Structure 1
Amino acid sequence: MTRDLKALLASDQTALGTWTQMVAPELVDLIGLNGFRFTIIDCQHGPFGIETAENLARAADANDIAVALRVSRNDPVEIMKALDAGIRHVVVPNIETAEEAETAVAATRFGPHGLRGACPCCRSGGHFIRNWDSYVTAEEARTGAIALVETEEGRRNIEAICATSGLAALMIGPFDLSVSMGLNGDWRCDEVQRAVTEMARAGTSAGLPVIMPVFAPTPAECRDLVDHWRGEDVTTFVVGSDKILIAEAFASWAAKLS
């Protein structure tokens, strides 16, 4: 199915992705055709569910880019549906404790070691699994839970979260973190940047890949942020979103032609 996100996370080469929040497989085509290496389908803030997400993932498959899905909450059923649909990594929002991270990891594993429901007829197994033992071994090696830490409580518990066995990666949410800190979305301020740096260093110190969102509205500022975080051993970046990048392109064209 999809390109292996684990390989991107393990590489020391810069990997750029974005958020897919619009119901348009053509946009996923364009993401893949224009140099991005992965996308995160957003079922938390995007206006769609798993039926749409599965088709967006098919577009990622067709363009040979990796894909993850952000579930709306840390719910084993939601995580199971994403994995059954062949989307091998889930971004689990609002992780605040090691126990919550453990629940997310367990939701990616079948019993008796995990919470994932078992079905032999799902897309992840070609819709009919003839050798269940082989499928389970392969599936648990290629799937993973990514902890999205985006609150002050999560920041306080960051070292314990990063120590969670089986976690695929740490993702940091600077915008939500700034709101949690009472700074009303000011993710650029020094206080938030210090907190994000502290969290990123906790991840890298634990040997955990770190995914950093880069929301600056211009390519120049994004380039500066990518360079900065590269200096902190972060190599995987979520640049803007489909909406942000399209809006920037429209604004640029309108300004040039006015």
Structure 2
Amino acid sequence: MPAPTNTFKQNILAGIRQMGCWVGLAHPYAAEIAGTAGFDWLLIDGEHAPNDLRSISEQIAVLQASDSTVVVRLPNDDTALIKQTLDAGAQTLLIPMVESADQARELVRAVRYPPHGIRGVGYALARASQFAAIPDYFATADKEICLLVQVESKAGLDALDDILAVEGVDGVFIGPADLSVDLGYAPSADAPEIRAIVLDAIDRIAATDKAAGILTLDPEFIAECLAYKATFVAVGIDVLTLAGGLRDLAKNARKAADEL
């Protein structure tokens, strides 16, 4: 019995668009609600949301019952945390602030078992192997792990071609906010210059065997990124959706009360 098939990895490498949403409320109940929305993938954010390994593990568990694939963004490239998150059942990781081919190669090693990598062999304890119910997990896990690296700085952008040449990196996600700040602009992709840089990066990624990814809430820019063959595109953030909806509700309620 092999490791579960990573359909997200299969789809993005086949060029099949995957539409997703950020999950930052850091609670399994909220993640479970997001899992009913119909997105192809949901990203549990461990970088900017108040998540830890335990809360990430709980959210992975509830989302396994949904039709949405789980992607986990870690806070950094820490090898120990990568190991623990994979053991918790994540098959797709997004690692932020990748700035060189050497860093990308070390990440590939971190998600693979020996002799091709350095992932610790403790899968008998882990949800990843269904607690040792998958006898062939060690032999089959590597090919189902999807490694996405996040390029979001001038250094990363300058190294993009070298990063794209690293075998074992499945996709490159462009982080427009940090990239914009690093290039001296406001923290968004609103500036025409930043949009042009992002679209050029997506074009370069799509010209290789890697998948290109982006997060943007702007419908016009979403369409542009898709036209440039971005494959995994996040179009919303649960925190902002909830906050915006509640603020609109309160505003409308006050307006209705004032009109009486």
TM-score strictly above 0.5:
yes
Q: Residues 2, 253 of structure 1: CA spacing in aligned structure 2 closer, same or farther, 3 A cutoff?
A: farther
Task: Tell me if 1:212 matches 2:214.
Answer: yes
Correspondence for 1:236:
232
How far apart, in 1, do the equivalents of 2:244 and 2:87 lie? Answer: 35
Deviations, residues 43-74 of structure 1 (Å, cap 9, x unaligned): 11121211110110112112121001111111
Name which of 49, 67, 72 aligns with 1:69. 72
Question: SS in structure 1 opposite 2:35?
Answer: helix
Correspondence for 2:258:
none
How far apart, in 2, do the equivalents of 1:29 and 1:130 lie? Answer: 25
5+ residue gaps in structure 1? 217-221
Name which of 152, 155, 158 aligns with 2:157. 155
Cα deviation for residue 237 of structure 1 reads 0.9
TM-score, normalised to structure 1, is 0.90
User: Contact 1:200–1:210 at 8 Å: present in 2 too?
Assistant: yes
Q: CA RMSD in A?
A: 1.8
How far apart, in 1, do the equivalents of 2:60 and 2:185 lie? Answer: 35
Task: Tell me if 1:18 matches 2:14.
Answer: no
Report the residue type matching 2:87 in the other structure. Answer: D
Correspondence for 1:219:
none
How far apart, in 2, do the equivalents of 1:12 and 1:89 lie? Answer: 17
5+ residue gaps in structure 2? 256-260
Cα deviation for residue 3 of structure 1 reads 6.2
User: Contact 1:84–1:124 at 8 Å: present in 2 too?
Assistant: yes
How far apart, in 2, do the equivalents of 1:250 and 1:225 lie? Answer: 25
Question: SS in structure 2 opposite 1:40?
Answer: strand
Cα deviation for residue 186 of structure 1 reads 3.7
How far apart, in 1, do the equivalents of 2:167 and 2:98 lie? Answer: 15
Correspondence for 1:103:
106
Deviations, residues 210-244 of structure 1 (Å, cap 9, x unaligned): 11111x3xxxxx32222111110113211231101
**Sequence identity percentage:** 23
Report the residue type matching 2:65 in the other structure. Answer: A
Task: Tell me if 1:27 matches 2:23.
Answer: no
Deviations, residues 149-181 of structure 1 (Å, cap 9, x unaligned): 000000001111111101121101000101111
| Count of residues paired in the alignment | 250
User: Contact 2:32–2:59 at 8 Å: present in 1 too?
Assistant: no
